[in-house]
């Protein structure tokens, strides 16, 4: 028998499952795990703020399909990181937050940084608990990773009491988890339900399949296109907080309103679908709801109406998609299929003629064109879009083989840590993020992390000296004379701040300088900031067939 600390059991269990990348910020309560990481060969990326570690684990989970691992210290470290879990939860990202914790034998006595951590994290994760002993740590981490990947993926939290990490287990190897213990259970669609679903699709005149955010994750993202081709039914994945008005989906709202059958496959019938109500969806539209969670099936009946939900079944999304692809009904509805395809691809013709001129500032459409040219140079390129108005313009104008966005939660500020994790996961792929100047301030210091780690990525900052999304709300709702509290300093040199942290900085004030600046940023081989002075515009709203409908 080999004696091991609880920290060694935890670290070696992770390594046995191939989960060797950990995003972390150090602190007293997790020092035993840092020590154990040496023999376990865990690779720890040490960040500058706890929330960034959680965002990095979130992006890692979306890109790789394996649970991203974030590790923070207890008390304030845990509290600083918890907020970022909401983005992962809404985006259905498989990840695990490990937090150091006050010793079990001191709880209730006023221990250093004692906090009810599991309860604090609980509303933002699929499961949250505190390990009870050193012996349980292997089983605990395996359970956390299984839950994170099973059903609807999402974040899980596990607190690690200091005395459990330090305690010795006589037979440590028997307490370790094995790789198989980390694998999630699979829940396929029953054959009779598959038959009923394919029959519904065949009977509909204007069917649509709408998939949830988890199906946009890199390991399964291609299945949506395969499903549309095999079933002969338009299939789209929704992952934006703008919902039916997601600019990346063009004029989708117009065709959604015409559908007579909508299959919600892992897609919650929530605010992004206007709760299924008219006029967003036709009052007579029927729904088939396939979801990993029984609670979502119940909510579908509540939101959509019992008479409209004609099929309801509990099953995993990816397994159901693969079953439908295998069934391959090849429904003959070419006119409808082409109409939906054209609507999603639609962008106003007027955008092609936008020209900012020689003086600047740059129009967001022109910024998108230049970023697209960079991404077109590599079939492995990764595009990251933060939230806010510039994030919506970027999503409308930019495509890439792999995309990560802020997700249905509508958060901002995750763009820098997302881009960092993307380049770590795809070390040969160019990674370009687009975000606003407000959002950029959240994690500017992670350029220090990227410089220390030698991780090149390009972050394009759309600088309009404003919290523009909120400013636009004020203009629409209260009027220009009552718009206040959303201004930022004019022309802040974020590029110089990044250069001071060891990265590469570029300032762009007119469109003619944009492409050369992006090329130099890519060629620098450093984490780079391209600080672009842009026009202060509202996010685009796209409606096909209406002249001047997009702005």
DSSP state of 459: E
Strand 168-169 to 207-211 pairing = unpaired
Q: What is the pLDDT of residues 454-496, one digit of tens each?
A: 999 999 999 999 999 999 999 999 999 999 999 999 999 999 9
CA–CA distance, 472 with 533 (Å, rounded to integer): 18
Residue 210 in tokens: 């709408």
Reading across the β-sheet that carries 68-72, which strands appear in turn? Answer: 43-46, 21-24, 68-72, 95-101, 155-161, 127-130
- Cβ pair 67, 19 in contact under 8 A: yes
Strand 528-533 to 458-463 pairing = parallel
CA–CA distance, 418 with 397 (Å, rounded to integer): 20
3 exposure class (CB count in 10 Å sphere: 0-12, 13-18, 19+): exposed
What b/e string do you get for 128-165 counting C-beta neighbours within 10 Å, with b at 16 or more? bbbbeebbbbbbbbbbbbbbbbbbbbbbbbbbbbbbbb
- Cβ pair 89, 58 in contact under 8 A: no
Confidence of residue 1 (pLDDT cuts 50, 70, 90): confident
In 3D space, the residue among 453, 378, 375, 374 whose CA is nearest the CA of residue 420 turns out to be 453
More confident residue, 271 or 1: 271
Lowest mean pLDDT across 160-169, 219-228, 321-330, 405-414: 321-330
Residue 201 in tokens: 């699709």
330 pLDDT more than 70: no
Beta strands in 167-274 (DSSP E): 168-169, 207-211, 235-237, 261-265
In 3D space, the residue among 52, 25, 340 whose CA is nearest the CA of residue 205 turns out to be 340
Cβ-proximal residues to 376 (8 Å cutoff; 6+ apart), any chain? none
Helix (H, G, I), strand (E, B), or coil: what is residue 509? coil
Q: What is the pLDDT of residues 111-144, one digit of tens each?
A: 888 899 999 999 999 999 999 999 999 999 999 9
Mean pLDDT of the chain: 95
pLDDT at 114: 87
pLDDT at 488: 96
| Cα–chain center distance at 212 | 12
In 3D space, the residue among 258, 265, 268 whose CA is nearest the CA of residue 301 turns out to be 268
Confidence of residue 333 (pLDDT cuts 50, 70, 90): confident
CA–CA distance, 415 with 435 (Å, rounded to integer): 7
Q: What is the DSSP string of 148-159?
A: HHSSS--EEEEE
In 3D space, the residue among 464, 394, 405, 456 whose CA is nearest the CA of residue 431 turns out to be 456
Strand 95-101 to 504-508 pairing = unpaired
Beta bridge partners of 507: 531
Asked if residue 279 has a cis previous peptide bond (ω within 30° of 0), the answer is: yes
In 3D space, the residue among 524, 395, 400, 516 whose CA is nearest the CA of residue 462 turns out to be 395
Cβ-proximal residues to 164 (8 Å cutoff; 6+ apart), any chain? 6, 104, 131, 132, 133, 134, 136, 137
Beta bridge partners of 402: 382
Strand 4-5 to 168-169 pairing = antiparallel
Angle at 420 between CA 527 and CA 65, to 5 degrees: 155
CA–CA distance, 443 with 291 (Å, rounded to integer): 35
In 3D space, the residue among 256, 282, 414, 242 whose CA is nearest the CA of residue 336 turns out to be 256
548 pLDDT more than 60: no
Q: What is the pLDDT of residues 155-200, one digit of tens each?
A: 999 999 999 999 999 999 999 999 999 999 999 999 999 999 999 9
CA–CA distance, 55 with 256 (Å, rounded to integer): 32
- Cβ pair 285, 305 in contact under 8 A: no
């Amino acid at each position: 028998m080999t004696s091991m600390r609880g920290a060694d059991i935890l670290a070696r269990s992770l390594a046995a499952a191939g989960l060797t990348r950990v995003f972390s910020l150090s602190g007293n309560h997790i020092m035993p795990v840092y020590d154990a990481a040496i023999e376990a060969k865990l690779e720890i990326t040490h960040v500058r703020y706890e929330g960034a570690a959680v965002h990095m684990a979130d992006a890692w989970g979306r890109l790789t399909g394996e649970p991203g691992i974030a590790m923070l210290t207890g008390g304030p470290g845990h509290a600083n990181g918890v907020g970022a879990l909401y983005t992962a939860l809404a985006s259905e990202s498989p990840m695990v937050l490990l937090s150091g914790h006050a010793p079990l034998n001191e709880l209730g006595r006023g221990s250093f940084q004692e906090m009810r951590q599991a309860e604090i994290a609980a509303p933002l994760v699929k499961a949250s608990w505190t390990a009870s002993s050193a012996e349980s740590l292997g089983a605990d981490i395996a359970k956390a990773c299984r839950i994170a990947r099973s059903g609807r993926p999402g974040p899980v939290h596990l607190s690690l009491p200091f005395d459990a990490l330090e305690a010795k287990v006589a037979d440590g190897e028997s307490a370790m988890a094995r790789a198989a213990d980390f694998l999630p259970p699979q829940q396929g669609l029953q054959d009779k339900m598959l038959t009923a679903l394919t029959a519904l699709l065949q009977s509909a005149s204007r069917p649509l399949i709408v998939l949830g955010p988890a199906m946009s994750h890199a390991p399964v993202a291609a299945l949506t296109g395969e499903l549309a081709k095999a079933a002969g039914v338009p299939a789209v994945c929704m992952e934006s907080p703008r919902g039916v008005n997601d600019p990346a989906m063009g004029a989708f709202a117009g065709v959604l309103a015409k559908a007579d059958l909508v299959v919600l496959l892992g897609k919650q019938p929530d605010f992004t679908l206007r709760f299924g109500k008219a006029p967003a969806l036709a009052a007579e539209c029927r729904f088939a709801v396939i979801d990993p969670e029984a609670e979502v099936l119940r909510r579908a009946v509540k939101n959509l109406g019992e008479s409209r939900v004609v099929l309801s079944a509990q099953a995993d999304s990816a397994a159901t998609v693969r079953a439908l692809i295998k069934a391959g009904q090849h429904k003959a509805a070419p006119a409808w299929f082409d109409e939906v395809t054209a609507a999603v691809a639609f962008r106003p013709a007027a955008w092609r003629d936008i020209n900012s001129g020689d003086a600047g500032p740059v129009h967001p459409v022109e910024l998108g064109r230049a970023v697209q040219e960079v991404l077109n140079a590599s079939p492995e390129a990764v595009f990251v879009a933060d939230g806010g108005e510039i994030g919506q313009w970027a999503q409308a104008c930019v495509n890439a083989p792999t995309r990560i966005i802020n997700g249905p939660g509508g958060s901002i500020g995750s763009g820098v840590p997302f881009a960092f994790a993307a380049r770590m996961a795809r070390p040969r792929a160019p990674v370009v993020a687009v975000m606003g100047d407000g959002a950029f301030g959240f994690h500017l210091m992670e350029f220090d992390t990227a410089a220390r780690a030698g991780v090149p990525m390009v972050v394009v900052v759309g600088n309009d000296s404003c919290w523009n999304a909120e400013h636009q709300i004020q203009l629409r709702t209260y009027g220009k004379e009552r718009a206040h509290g959303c201004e930022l300093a004019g022309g802040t040199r974020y590029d110089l701040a990044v250069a001071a942290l060891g990265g590469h900085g570029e300032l762009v004030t007119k469109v003619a300088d944009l492409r050369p600046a992006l090329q130099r940023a890519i060629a620098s081989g450093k984490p780079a900031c391209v600080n672009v002075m842009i026009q202060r515009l509202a996010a685009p709203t796209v409606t096909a067939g209406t002249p001047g409908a997009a702005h």
